[in-house]
Structure 1
Amino acid sequence: MRITVDSELCVGAGQCVLSAPEVFDQDDDGLVVVLEPHPAPGEHHTVHQAGDLCPAHAITVHED
């Protein structure tokens, strides 16, 4: 699994951080930051949930 984000789409809702705080954070402007672009298998469910909950669709989860 690999995660990419489009920070220009991000609206700072923070759903990603609430869903997967080990993988996502927000910068000083409230925009998404990926802490772990290749999360461990145990994080895959929460990463998918974060992508699904993102209101701006700024998170893309790639299954490699």
Structure 2
Amino acid sequence: MKVHAERDRCIGAGLCTLHAPSVFDQEDDGMVVVIDDSPTGAAADDARKVAEYLCPGKAVHITGG
């Protein structure tokens, strides 16, 4: 699995960092940054939830496994 984030779609809500803090962080401007683009285990599950349900700007995407 690979985690991608489109900063231009990010609205800075912070739900990604709240629900998957080992995968996502926020820059000083509030925009998403991926800190682990190949998470495993529970972190991978959390990243999937963010991508599928939680990101209001639909800025987070998962490709592969």
Question: What TM-score results when the alignment is normalised by the length of structure 2?
Answer: 0.91
The sequence identity of aligned pairs, in percent, is 38
Name the CA distance, whole Å, in 2 between partners of 1:57 and 1:30. Answer: 15
Where do residues 1-64 of structure 1 align in structure 2 (5 Å cutoff)? 1-51=1-51, 52-64=53-65
Cα offset for 1:63?
2.0
RMSD: 1.0
Structure 1 residue runs of 4+, over 6 Å off? none
Question: What TM-score results when the alignment is normalised by the length of structure 1?
Answer: 0.92
Cα offset for 1:60?
0.4
Unaligned runs of 5+ in 2: none
Cα offset for 1:31?
0.2
Unaligned runs of 5+ in 1: none
Q: Deviations over 1:22-59 (max 9, x none)?
A: 00000000000000011123312101111120000000
2:48 corresponds to which letter in structure 1?
H
